[in-house]
Amino acid sequence: MKVLGVDPGSSITGYGIVEKRGNLLFHIGNGEISVNPKTSFPQSLKMIHHQLEKVILDYSPDVMAIENLFFYKNAKTALKLGHVRGILILSAVNVGLDIYEYSPLEIKQAVVGYGRATKNQVQIMVKEILTLPEVAPVDASDALAVAICYIHSTNMREAIKHAR
């Protein structure tokens, strides 16, 4: 099973692809979709859409896991991020991918074991879990963490299903 994890952002969107083979997790790829702050917001959304479509075509994931919105003090920022999430979800739905959403708390618990972990702790654990040679950039690392969260959640659902 190949999972595309996405960490949405209006200026930088991280993505990471993790594959589960048996009980092992493998890093397939990661990166960041960056938009120029001088680009109009509609054009930025278009660019994010096209770049995520390319990632999906290049890696052929089975599912997409995305970080859910959490509380923002700034309504304008939350609205922009909501638009970005919508574009990302549309990009995945257009090619038939199922979408799974996780809160930052769920992601940190799944990867670090502590829901209030720092970004640095998440980066280090992602590096360890996937045996990466170096720590991935923050947004890409967060996206890999989302993919790991999906896999761990699926493992838990399967274990519960088999225990019944």
Please tell me the distance from the alpha carbon of residue 140 to that of residue 143, in angstroms, as a whole number. 5
Please tell me the distance from the alpha carbon of residue 88 to that of residue 111, in angstroms, as a whole number. 23
User: Would residue 158 show up in a list of annotated catalytic residues for this protein?
Assistant: no
For residues 99-109, b (16+ Cβ closer than 10 Å) or e, as one string?
A: ebebebebbbb
User: Would residue 67 show up in a list of annotated catalytic residues for this protein?
Assistant: yes
Catalytic pick from 7, 19, 106, 142? Answer: 7
89: how many CB neighbours lie within 10 A of its CB? 18
- Residues 48/84, Cβ–Cβ less than 8 Å: yes
User: Would residue 142 show up in a list of annotated catalytic residues for this protein?
Assistant: no
Catalytic pick from 19, 67, 106, 142? Answer: 67
Q: Which of 58, 3, 68 is nearest to 33 (CA)?
A: 58
In three-state secondary structure terms, 55 is helix
Query: Is 123 buried (19+), middle (13-18) or exposed (0-12) by CB count in 10 A?
Result: buried
Catalytic pick from 19, 32, 106, 139? Answer: 139
Residues marked as catalytic: 7, 67, 139
